[in-house]
Amino acid sequence: MATIVSSTIVDRLAAAFGEAVDVTPENGETPHILLPKLELPDPWTPSETSALTIWNSWPTQRPEFLIELVVVGEHGEPPTNPTEVLRLGKTWRGFSFNFTWAGDDPVRVVRMWLGRFTAERT
């Protein structure tokens, strides 16, 4: 079941964001989808970065959304309320961002997460 879900999510995210890679640790685990070339809006840099999405309890819950540690805003600060999270042997940055989630569109939920970078300027 998880393989089918991962494949569907990967296909839809790749079509929307240029590339998506299934990096799920083992078959049957929670889908982990890497977006290796995700564009962030100005003033966030680097504007092309990687994001890791973890689709636990999808679609009833929104995925976990993590970015590379190097992402900073115009004053060199990370997004507000950052946390460092170890996933797949790499340290990523998580951050808080409240939005109501309902639906089953993986592209829409990633775009909602990206709204965080439009809403906040550091």
Q: Name the nearest CA neighbour of 81 among 44, 116, 40.
A: 116
114 and 93 Cβ atoms separated by less than 8 Å:
no
| Tens digit of each residue's pLDDT (9 = 90 or more) over 25-59 | 987 789 999 999 999 999 999 999 999 999 999 99
Number of residues that make up the chain = 122
pLDDT at 10 over 60: yes
- The pair phi, psi for residue 11, each rounded to 5°, is -60, -45
pLDDT at 88 over 80: yes
13-22, 91-100, 112-121: range with highest mean pLDDT: 13-22
Identity of the amino acid at 107? V
DSSP 9-62: HHHHHHHHHS--EE--SSTTSPPEEEEEEEEPPTT-BSSEEEEEEE-TTTTTSP
Q: Give the Cα separation of 61 and 105 in Å (integer).
A: 12
Identity of the amino acid at 102? A
pLDDT at 87 over 80: yes
